[in-house]
Amino acid sequence: MTNFRLPKLTFWRTVVAVIFLAGAYAAYARFALGFQQSTNLADSQPWGLWVGLGTLCGVGISAGGFAIAAAVYLLGFERYRPVVRAAVLLSFLGYLTVIVGMMYELGLPWRIWHPIVMWNRRSVLFEVSWCVMLYTTVLSLEFSPSLVEKIPWVRLRELYLKWHHHLLIALVLIGAILSSLHQSFLGGLYLLAKGKVDPLWYSSYLPTLFYLSAVPAGLAATIMAVYLCNRSLHARVDPRVLAELSQIIAPMLYVYALLRGIDLVTHGGAGYLFKWREESLLFWFEIAMFVIAPVLLLSQSKVRNNPNALYGTCALVVMGFMANRLNVSITAFQASSGFYYIPKWTEFALSMATVTAAGVAFHYAVIYLEILPRSVPAKNWMTRHPATA
Amino acid sequence: MPKSKAILIDITKCIGCLSCEAACKQLHGFSQDPEPKLSPTAFTIVEEHGDRYVRRMCMNCQDPACASACLVGALKKTELGPVTYESSKCIGCRYCLVACPFNVPRYQWSKLAPFVTKCDMCYARQAKGQSPACVEACPVQASIVGWRDEILEEAQRRILSDTKYEKHIYGSEEVGGTSVFYISDVPFEKLGFTKVESQPMPVLTANALGDIPTVVTVGGGLLAGLYWITNRRKLVALAEAAESARSGKGKDPHHD
Ligand code: SF4
């Protein structure tokens, strides 16, 4: 049993190692040298990739957890139960990346606790910070049974699980409300920047639009994660469950596109749609990936029922969603700031490393815990099984 | 708001001597090199637009976007007029920079413990009854300070008494009013003044924040109601199953 071996040097391990090394250097640059050496941020672009990707995308893509948990526990969609744990775990890790991201995004991260005691109820960011704190706590509690059931002390374990069972519904309900609030308030942050945000993205409906886009992106990310576990980690989730889940995405994108279109016309942003400028091109890039292509593809049962095609379509949704958040947070400010912001490589490296760490954590959680139904038993961390390594 | 202070900057009077810049830098202990733009070491600067000089500084809005943005309340509108910054609260999120419609706050990007910097209308001096350093330094009274209502009256008097003035006091309506006013004989757009909302910026987020109770009560109630229905259905189904199991003994037990 003590047959200890060095991990094999595989392609993916090398990639992960390189990302972590680059991330480690970037973290050094951020904390030892400061923002100026580690980012291309400036007074006219005070929020860059770390907010756009780390916070906006991180929170948005983590919307799957609350949506699927609410569907299963509150609305009784039992058929999604096999993926509910994976969705919750994905969200939990997503929020952890957001909080880790805060540690390098904030100028004075050791004061991250200040909003707990220093209140400004007029600040959208204050509400966001409270919701994120509370919801991450809710997620950790929702996720906790996966860890607790591995505790060897039966009494403690049973006690905890019984107690948890009673609280679960309340947790899921609170989680759904908190999520709805801060998913939309992330868009609400930009309401205050009226006049700076390009008319193609500014809208008084930004909160609603952020909410309506986060849910399909979160579902798509969950489908992708489960697909990958099916493919590489011996998970055995019926592809029909994923296909069914994907059927919710298209209608949501319809509603989103409809509201966005009406809003563009009524706000007068529509006049910019066909202007020959970088913003308009990036707008169409975003809409094509996030709405048009997925809606067309998902209407085909061939696509929905082919796991590979479904995976690709969901990847489009997630990437289109990311394009939207980066457009709102970066592209939309370019004209008004007169500053062309391109993130420094260290900004990419630190974001990549954070997301990769979450991916690695997800991978091991699926192997060691009961996250998804699998054709092999969960590994036990007390003993090593060289045979299945 | 009780009586508060305001500054009037008369662009027709400024001679571009930069005394205000120098006084500001000296008060804050910054190096005296003139800077082209507001920076962490330049809270006021004088811009040249043709043959006019425009002094920039924080507008110290009546209902400031930055103060509503700041999640920890580090930025505050004081009763005296200045918008102050309490650095010991700031967490460095930079939402105030995103929010400011005049792009005034600056961040100390090169520092390892960076803070936000901006003019606070010499709050400390004004609280002691002194004038802001920049106003005091101006040799031609292009900037004057006083009670806000009186300063507004003075501005009004000037633009009405002389036809050369543009008939607008910049800052009287902008973002719901500011504590720094400009009057000019050249249209403001030509001097690099931003066209901003006429309503206070925080109004834009107040509506969204006002929805919280609705989301919590209606959303929560709706979800709870749906859960109740789901749960009842489950119970009914269980009861029916139990019922049919009791009455239907002997039938195929695998049938469901
Ligand atoms: S950077 Fe500091 S002052 Fe500005 S909003 Fe954030 S916490 Fe407030």
Nearest CA in chain A to B221: A173
- What secondary structure letter does DSSP report for A63? T
Element (H, E) at B117: strand B116-117
Q: Do residues B140 and B110 both lie within one domain?
A: yes
A contacts of B201 (beta carbons < 8 Å)? 192, 194
A271 touches chain B (CB under 8 A): no
Chain A, 136 to 175: residues with Cβ < 8 Å from chain B are 169, 173
Q: Do residues B50 and B144 both lie within one domain?
A: yes
The pLDDT-based confidence of A383 (bands split at 50, 70, 90) is: low
Radius of gyration of chain B (CA): 29
Buried b (16+ CB within 10 A) or exposed e, A161-198: eeeeeeeeeebbbbbbbbbbbbbbbbbbbbbbbbebbb
Q: Which domain holds residue A61?
A: 38-368
CB B116 less than 6 A from any atom of ligand 1: yes
Residue A122 to residue B68, Cβ atoms within 8 A: yes
How far apart are alpha carbons A184 and A208 in whole angstroms? 6
CB B115 less than 6 A from any atom of ligand 1: no
What mean pLDDT comes out for the span A177-183?
95
Interface test with A, best of B88, B89, B93 (most A CBs within 10 A): B93
User: Tell me, what's the pLDDT at A1?
Assistant: 46
Rounded to a whole number of angstroms, the distance from the CA of A58 to the nearest CA of chain B is 17
- What secondary structure letter does DSSP report for A122? T
CA distances (Å), A185 to each of A124, B103, B212, in order?
A: 6, 23, 10
Asked if pLDDT for residue A385 goes beyond 50, the answer is: no
Element (H, E) at A98: helix A81-105
User: Tell me, what's the pLDDT at A270?
Assistant: 86
Interface test with B, best of A39, A43, A135 (most B CBs within 10 A): A43
Asked whether residue B75 is domain-assigned, the answer is yes
Rounded to a whole number of angstroms, the distance from the CA of B83 to the nearest CA of chain A is 15
pLDDT, averaged across chain B: 93
Q: Which domain holds residue B234?
A: 212-249
Asked whether residue B50 is domain-assigned, the answer is yes
How far apart are alpha carbons B114 and A247 in whole angstroms? 48
The pLDDT-based confidence of B255 (bands split at 50, 70, 90) is: very low
ipTM of the complex: 0.92
Give every CB contact of residue A359 below 8 A, 6+ residues apart in sequence: none
Q: Do residues B200 and B238 both lie within one domain?
A: no
Instruction: Point out the ligand 1 atom lying closest to the alpha carbon of residue B107.
Output: 1
Asked whether residue B68 is domain-assigned, the answer is yes
How far apart are alpha carbons B228 and A185 in whole angstroms? 28
Asked whether residue A378 is domain-assigned, the answer is no
Nearest CA in chain B to A131: B212
Asked whether residue B243 is domain-assigned, the answer is yes
The count of CB pairs under 8 A between chains A and B is: 168
What are the tens digits of pLDDT across the range A63-93?
Answer: 999 999 999 999 999 999 999 999 999 999 9
Asked whether residue A3 is domain-assigned, the answer is no
The structure tokens listed for A132 are 């994120």
pLDDT, averaged across chain A: 93
Q: Do residues B140 and B35 both lie within one domain?
A: yes
Residue B109 to residue A35, Cβ atoms within 8 A: yes
A contacts of B207 (beta carbons < 8 Å)? 204
In contact, A76 and B238? CB cutoff 8 Å:
no
Q: Do residues B191 and B242 both lie within one domain?
A: no
Give the number of other CB atoms < 10 A from CB of residue B124. Answer: 12
CB B206 less than 6 A from any atom of ligand 1: no
The pLDDT-based confidence of A382 (bands split at 50, 70, 90) is: low
List the CATH number of the domain containing A185: 1.20.1630.10
List the CATH number of the domain containing B201: 3.30.70.20
CB B98 less than 6 A from any atom of ligand 1: no
Please tell me the number of Cα atoms within 13 Å of A271 on its side-chain side: 5
- Provide the whole-model pTM: 0.92
- The answer to whether the Cα torsion of A116, A120, A122, A125 is positive or negative is negative
Asked if pLDDT for residue B253 goes beyond 70, the answer is: no
Q: Is A72 left (phi over 0), alpha (psi -120 to 50) or beta?
A: alpha
Residue B193, helix vs strand vs coil: coil
Q: Do residues B57 and B173 both lie within one domain?
A: yes
Chain A, 21 to 50: residues with Cβ < 8 Å from chain B are 31-32, 34-36, 39, 41-44, 46-47
Residue A196 to residue B101, Cβ atoms within 8 A: yes
How far apart are alpha carbons A174 and A182 in whole angstroms? 12
Asked whether residue A43 is domain-assigned, the answer is yes
Residue carrying the six token digits 């925080």: B202
Residue B204 to residue A194, Cβ atoms within 8 A: yes
The pLDDT-based confidence of A2 (bands split at 50, 70, 90) is: low
Q: How many domains does chain B have?
A: 2
Q: Do residues B180 and B58 both lie within one domain?
A: yes
Q: Do residues B128 and B222 both lie within one domain?
A: no
What are the tens digits of pLDDT across the range B111-135?
Answer: 999 999 999 999 999 999 999 999 9
Q: Do residues B151 and B223 both lie within one domain?
A: no
Q: How many domains does chain A have?
A: 1
Asked whether residue A247 is domain-assigned, the answer is yes
CB B73 less than 6 A from any atom of ligand 1: no
What are the tens digits of pLDDT across the range A343-373?
Answer: 999 999 999 999 999 999 999 999 999 999 9
Asked whether residue B254 is domain-assigned, the answer is no
What are the tens digits of pLDDT across the range A114-153?
Answer: 999 999 999 999 999 999 999 999 999 999 999 999 988 9
Asked if pLDDT for residue A256 goes beyond 50, the answer is: yes
Interface test with B, best of A36, A75, A111, A123 (most B CBs within 10 A): A123
Q: Do residues B225 and B98 both lie within one domain?
A: no
CA distances (Å), A256 to each of A57, A212, A213, A261, in order?
A: 17, 6, 7, 8
- The answer to whether the Cα torsion of A313, A318, A322, A324 is positive or negative is positive
Asked whether residue B240 is domain-assigned, the answer is yes
What are the tens digits of pLDDT across the range A17-76?
Answer: 999 999 999 999 999 999 999 999 999 999 999 999 999 999 999 999 999 999 999 999
Q: Do residues B239 and B202 both lie within one domain?
A: no
pLDDT > 70 fraction of chain A, expressed in percent and rounded: 96
* Residue (of A246, A209, A184, A227) closest to B205 by Cα position: A184
Q: Do residues B155 and B178 both lie within one domain?
A: yes
Asked whether residue B187 is domain-assigned, the answer is yes
* Residue (of A81, A115, A353) closest to B72 by Cα position: A115
